[in-house]
């Protein structure tokens, strides 16, 4: 299937979903007022990919800002990828956040706990 690439814009992150390598990448700020409009193509892509995933899939999230609307859509996106993990295939979320940003860290921890998919955590500079 075709890869998905979206350039970062003022309030939306860069997106790189690669169906050949199984590496998915979301990076930057996400605070659009209409987050549904932004995330819908990502969710549709994830659903399609999950039908025939690579042996190993990684979703790397480098999040600088995440408004509440984006938090909800990110949950929907993870739910779209979750069938990969539920089917016993390798799926990992790498959650990267700014040093000291407990809010973004706690969003990751909460989602990991509630969706029961594996996360790793790493601080980084933006």
Partner 1 sequence: MQHSLKIASLKNSLQLPLKNNELEYYGVVNYQLADSLLILTEKFLDKKFRNNERGLVKIIFSSFVEMVQNVADYTEKKLVADGLPSYLSLRIEANEVVLKTSNILISPDIDAIENRLSRLAIMGANDLMENYKKELFAGGSLGLIMLHKLKNSEFTWATENDPNNKNWLSLKLKINYGKSAH
What is the binding site for partner 1 (CB under 8 A)? 10-11, 31-34, 65, 67-69, 71-72, 75, 98, 100-101, 103, 110-111, 114
Among 50, 88, 36, 38, which Cα is nearest to 26's?
Answer: 38
| Nearest distance, CB of residue 33 and partner 1, angstroms | 4
When the beta carbons of 53 and 104 are compared against partner 1, the nearer one is 104
Measured from the CB atom, the residue of 22 and 62 that comes closer to partner 1 is 62
- Which strands form 4-6's sheet, in the order they lie side by side? 4-6, 14-17, 23-30, 56-66, 90-98, 119-124
State the minimum distance, in angstroms, from the CB of residue 98 to partner 1: 7
Residue nearer to partner 1 on the CB measure, 3 or 44: 44
Measure the CA angle with vertex 69, ends 96 and 41; round to 5°.
Answer: 80
In the complex, minimum distance from the CB of residue 68 to partner 1, in angstroms, rounded to a whole number? 4
């Amino acid at each position: 299937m075709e890869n998905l690439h979206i350039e970062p814009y003022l309030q939306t992150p860069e997106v790189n979903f690669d169906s050949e390598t199984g590496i998915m990448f979301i990076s930057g700020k996400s605070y659009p007022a209409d987050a549904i409009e932004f995330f819908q193509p990502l969710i549709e892509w994830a659903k399609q990919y999950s039908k025939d995933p690579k042996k190993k899939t990684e979703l790397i999230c480098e999040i600088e800002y995440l408004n509440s609307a984006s938090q909800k859509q990110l949950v929907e996106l993870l739910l779209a990828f979750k069938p990969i993990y539920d089917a016993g295939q390798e799926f990992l979320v790498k959650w990267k956040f700014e040093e000291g940003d407990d809010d973004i860290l706690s969003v990751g921890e909460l989602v990991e706990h509630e969706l029961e998919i594996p996360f790793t955590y790493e601080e980084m500079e933006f």
